[in-house]
Chains A and B, each alone.
Chain A
């Protein structure tokens, strides 16, 4: 028999056992709940708390010029950062740390206080304060001692350097504080240049002190880009542009140098420029940084457009270089239309002379011969009104209105007379890049190339080796016959030799080009300022460089202001590219450049005579142009008989007649007879004899 005391103890033990069992079951149940049922949730929560993915910054790719010199290069550096929330006494911290890093203790302390206060309200994003970026090795060594006491961390960083300084600023662009491109190629090709950030996994304890980490994915450096830009040509272009702008008192300008054979951009300069090294630019620099005039801002090309009009006439066979075109002695008035004027009145000029003398009337007549459809077609063949595809952000397509109107109320299309004005650069706008491409068509024998700046891409593998990335550049497209372009090249050479572009001559090299001046219409009034331009190529027989110069808001014309810039840039390019000279140098040195050109700003026609309202009509109703009449092509030979030599020469010059005189005194006989319509390329022979 069990004693009563033992029985009581046994009962108590049983109760304790039961309670323990229930407690154990509850614990077990809770464990099952936590570790089996909610396993995934808590695992994810634990991982998010303990496991951190730390990005490893990738190094930005290099931008090199065509010779391999870096225009932009990234260098690994270290930066000192601190968690302001862990700085107990910012003043004490600042007094010790600031001298080491060359900072001002008061500034550092005030910023730390600011971050701490912000952190109290918004702790999430304010636990990271950069003490100093890009530490020197001395600063790093001195900081190493202090890191035992203060919660300072040294993190990897990268510094973007632009060894060329201002050279190629608009091409290369710049980056912001986050390391993303904000202008130029840095912006356009940001993804390629930036590479791919790596990933490091860090397992941390509850106090966020990391105790184990490993690299999950290595950072991949961005691709290295080799540009067609040559730094010497680029420098010359920028220097020449700056000097040209200063001499012409222009507000800005742009220069584009292109290899016409493949469309590689050799130089692209804009003024005003900016310093890409400056992290905090001035407002003016910030504006310049985001306005790449060469590709983003179109302007009326003016007379340079005459190159396209003449090419059209020649390619279609409507004119030959010797076809006479009557230039109406400087004023071409038609009923119901705006009159077209030349600054100097010309009589009959050959088609070639129309370009050389830059006659608006002559060009309008050639355009009339060919018709609007052909002009529109040829503008497209030269790439006007279309983006070139150059690697510059926000490229403009220029302004080329559609040939046909969408409806009766559609005014954004060609009017019935638009082709007359577009023929000499009115009612159309183009960027400098577009013009350079258009000139390339003439320079390379009729091929439309795509201007591009990148000629090679290489992906660094991280071990010093590189993998080539193919650069896709569309093949040039033939848009016209080579013989036509060769003829135009010869005519454009005469523009420099005897026409409006004498100041563009390059010592030792033959060159061809065309001047242009478009008056600026602003706030409802014509200003006495021009967009002066010059387009050209050199050498003439086998052009290696095309240069387009545009100076904005200058009182001087293209032949005066822009032509010298062309000569300087093209000369430098030819020298750098080691192109053999094809002319004696003395040819240019002895020639006297003109003080003024005989160019008239093309759009002054609108100022001279107001536009009369014209009904908009579609081009579909227009018939093909009729063959040119005799009146359109040339004047009748005047009666020189009885006049002295001065009077004969003056009259013949005003009509653009080629006169050969023999003898002295007064005109006695002439051949052909007075009233004859002078055939193309003919000469009037006048015989003089003393008065009987």
Chain B
């Protein structure tokens, strides 16, 4: 059996001796590292070999009940909050999709506008020049009539 103070003194002795070597005469005027209370440590041996484990049914029921209650409340809370939370997430997603759709519709508008500008007859006239000429009837080559046709215009087989 030893005291805690002695233990600390022993532990601190090494450092103090080192300081003494370095510092010289200062070691004598230093205070103790810890106050010198006498704390005694004991070791008691407990024998559990004769202890009898008795099942407390009431406590068990209470524990199980508490656990179930907690679980139920948790499930209920989740069930209550989940639709709202899911709604929130989905609403956000729907809004994002709406914004995407708006952006795509707007892009579609831009593309339609560009297409119309490119197919503008004035533009085609610039590109095509004199190539856009209605062919005369004599220059039109008629496709051969399909089989079984009883009449066709200028049919040539």
Residues of A within 8 A of B (CB): 69-71, 73-76, 161, 163-167, 231-232, 235-236, 239, 463-464, 507-508, 571, 575, 581, 584-585
- Distance from B124 Cβ to chain A, minimum over Cβ atoms (Å): 9
Separation of A74 and B112 alpha carbons in the complex (Å): 11
Query: Is B105 located at the chain interface by the 8 A CB criterion?
Result: yes
Contact A163 B102 (CB under 8 A): no
Q: Kindly state the separation between the CA atoms of A163 and B121 in the bound complex, as whole angstroms.
A: 11
Contact B101 A163 (CB under 8 A): no
How far is the CB of A93 from the nearest CB of chain B, in Å? 30
Whether B122 and A235, one on each chain, are in contact in the complex, defined by CB atoms closer than 8 angstroms, is yes
Least CB distance, B38 to chain A, in whole angstroms: 56
The residue on B at minimum CB distance from A463 is B101
Residues on A with C-beta less than 8 A from B134 are: 571, 575
**Could you pull out 25 A-B pairs where Cβ atoms are within 8 angstroms?**
A69-B115, A69-B116, A69-B119, A70-B113, A75-B109, A75-B113, A76-B102, A76-B106, A161-B113, A163-B114, A163-B115, A163-B116, A163-B117, A164-B120, A166-B122, A167-B120, A167-B121, A232-B121, A235-B120, A235-B121, A464-B101, A507-B136, A508-B137, A585-B136, A585-B138
Nearest-neighbor residue (CB-CB) of A460 within chain B: B105
Binding site for A on B (CB under 8 A): 101-102, 105-106, 109-110, 112-117, 119-122, 125, 134, 136-138
| Dominant secondary structure at the B interface | helix
Tell me how far the C-beta of A226 lies from the nearest C-beta in chain B, rounded to whole angstroms.
Answer: 14
Which 9 A-B residue pairings sit nearest by Cβ, starting from the closest? A163-B116, A235-B121, A163-B117, A76-B106, A69-B116, A161-B113, A163-B113, A75-B109, A70-B116
List, in ascending order, chain B residues with CB within 8 A of A69's CB.
115-116, 119
Please give, as numbers and ranges, the residues of chain B lying within 8 Å of A581 by CB-CB distance.
137
- Residue numbers in A under 8 Å from B116 (CB-CB): 69-71, 73, 163-164
Q: How far is the CA of A584 from the CA of B125 in the complex (A)?
A: 27
Closest to A508 in B: B137
Closest to A69 in B: B116
Task: Tell which of A76, A507, A508 has the most Cβ of chain B within 10 Å.
Answer: A76
Chain A residues within 8 Å of B110, by CB:
75
Query: In the complex, which residues of chain A have a beta carbon less than 8 angstroms from the beta carbon of B114?
Result: 163
Residues of A contacting B115 in the complex (Cβ-Cβ under 8 angstroms): 69, 163
A436 to chain B, nearest CB (A): 22
Min CB gap A582→B, angstroms: 11
Interfacial chain A residues near B138, Cβ < 8 Å: 585
Q: Which residues of A contact B112 (CB under 8 A)?
A: 70, 73
Q: Which residues of A contact B120 (CB under 8 A)?
A: 163-165, 167, 231, 235
Within the assembled complex, what's the spacing in Å between the Cα atoms of A464 and B102?
9
Query: What residues on A are CB-neighbors of B121 within 8 Å?
Result: 167, 231-232, 235-236
- New contact pairs (14) apart from A166-B122, A464-B105, A585-B136, CB-CB < 8 Å: A69-B115, A70-B112, A71-B116, A75-B106, A75-B113, A76-B102, A163-B114, A164-B117, A167-B120, A167-B122, A232-B121, A235-B121, A235-B122, A584-B137
Which residue of B has the minimal Cβ distance to A589?
B136
- A584 to B119 Cα, complex, angstroms: 32
The reply to whether A73 and B137 form a contact with Cβ atoms under 8 Å apart is no
Residues of B within 8 A of A464 (CB): 101, 105
A575 to B136, CA, bound (A): 12
Q: By the criterion CB–CB under 8 Å, are B137 and A585 in contact? A: yes
Contacts of B105 in A (CB 8 A): 464
Nearest chain B residue, comparing its CB with the CB of A77 = B106
CA of A216 to CA of B35, assembled, Å? 75
For the complex formed, measure the closest distance between the CB of B141 and the CB atoms of chain A, giving whole angstroms: 16
Alpha-carbon distance between A232 and B123 when the two chains are bound, in angstroms? 11
CB distance from A573 to the nearest CB of B (A): 12
Q: Which A residue sits closest to B134, measured CB to CB?
A: A575
Chain B residues with CB below 8 A from A71, complex form: 116
Q: Pick the most buried of B113, B117, B134: most chain A CB atoms within 10 A of its CB.
A: B113
| Nearest CB in chain B: distance from A57 CB, A | 14
The interface residues of chain A lying within 8 Å CB-to-CB of B113 are 70, 73, 75, 161, 163
Q: Which residue of A lies closest to B108 (CB)?
A: A464
**In the complex the two chains form, what is the Cα distance from A387 to B64 in whole Å?**
91
Cα distance A619–B18 in the bound complex, in angstroms: 143
From residue A187, how far is it (CB to closest CB) to chain B in Å? 21
Residues of B with C-beta under 8 A to A167: 120-122
Cα A687 to Cα B105 with chains together (Å): 84
* Neighbouring A residues of B117 by C-beta, 8 Å: 163-165
B136 contact set on A, CB distance < 8 A: 507, 585
Residue of A nearest to B117 (CB): A163
B101 surroundings in chain A (CB, below 8 A) = 463-464
Chain A residue numbers with a CB within 8 Å of B119 are 69
Tell me the smallest distance from the CB of B131 to a CB of chain A, in Å. Answer: 15
Q: In whole Å, how far is B80's beta carbon from the nearest beta carbon of chain A?
A: 25
